[in-house]
Amino acid sequence: MSDVPQPPITAARRLADRSVLVIGAGTRPSDDPEAPVGNGRAIAVLAAREGAAVACADISADTAAATAALVRAEGADAITVVGDATDPDQSSAVIAEARRRLGGLDAIVVNVGAGLGSGLADTSPEDWEHVMALNLRAPFLAAKYGLPELADGGAMVLTGSVAGLRAATNSPAYDSSKAALFGLVRHVAKEGAPRAIRANLVVPGLIDTPMGRVASAARASRTVSFERIPLGRQGTAWEVAEAVTFLLSDRASYITGQSLVVDGGLSAV
């Protein structure tokens, strides 16, 4: 798997001496040797290149361990933490373990998501609950349990989607859950501000990841959407990771409660 191409911009050590927890750090397994890296793995590896120690958390022990190995290959410290981000006890335990083993916690990135259902008629209540649990409950739990564990001056980044800006998919649960993240991140920013903890939302568009390729194979309209992107191509996970590491760094020290859209101009047309 071609997991670790160089990111488009040379790392500048923007996260030196920071401890970062990436929830959803694994990449969906693929039989394609040319499969791209997923967002969570790219974020973890780029954070390491920027100087951070990284806790790689995922529900899959194997994918979390694979990401941790790539982080160590960058010369950075890495640990693996396994847990279900939608379960309150496990979410709390993952965050507490990451803080304990890293000797502190300066940043949390929440990179989880799924889409189920096709229109209102073909979205079951069970589909709705599953998507809401992963896309909205998990970020809520990470914020609830993560904010008290973060060091003063820390940062949190949630991963949204341009589907939260408009009805961009056939899944009402996916679109609704991603839209709700805009409200959640503003609230986290408000509560974190007295301790100078910033919270922001990265909003990717059509990104070439293993999960994105599965979605494209299942929905032809997603591939047609590529033609509407002003920059004329899909984005890469590395470009999402660049936005995330910027928002975690001191270069974004006066940015909180905001959303940074990474979509090649798709939402602007």
Q: What are the φ and ψ backbone dihedral angles of 213, each rounded to 5 degrees?
A: -65, -35
The residues, any chain, with a CB within 8 Å of residue 239's CB and separated by 6 or more, are 8, 207, 262
- Residue of 103, 190, 102, 104 lying closest to 143 (CA atoms): 190
- Residue of 32, 39, 58 lying closest to 217 (CA atoms): 32
Please give the positions annotated as active site. 174
Cα 62 from Cα 113, distance rounded (Å): 19
Angle, in degrees to the nearest 10, between helices 39-49 and 237-248: 50
- Quote the radius of gyration of the chain (alpha carbons, Å): 17
Contact 116, 173 (CB under 8 A): yes
Under DSSP, the state recorded for 167 is -
159 strand-pairing partners: 202
Contact 255, 193 (CB under 8 A): no
- Residue of 241, 235, 243, 238 lying closest to 259 (CA atoms): 243
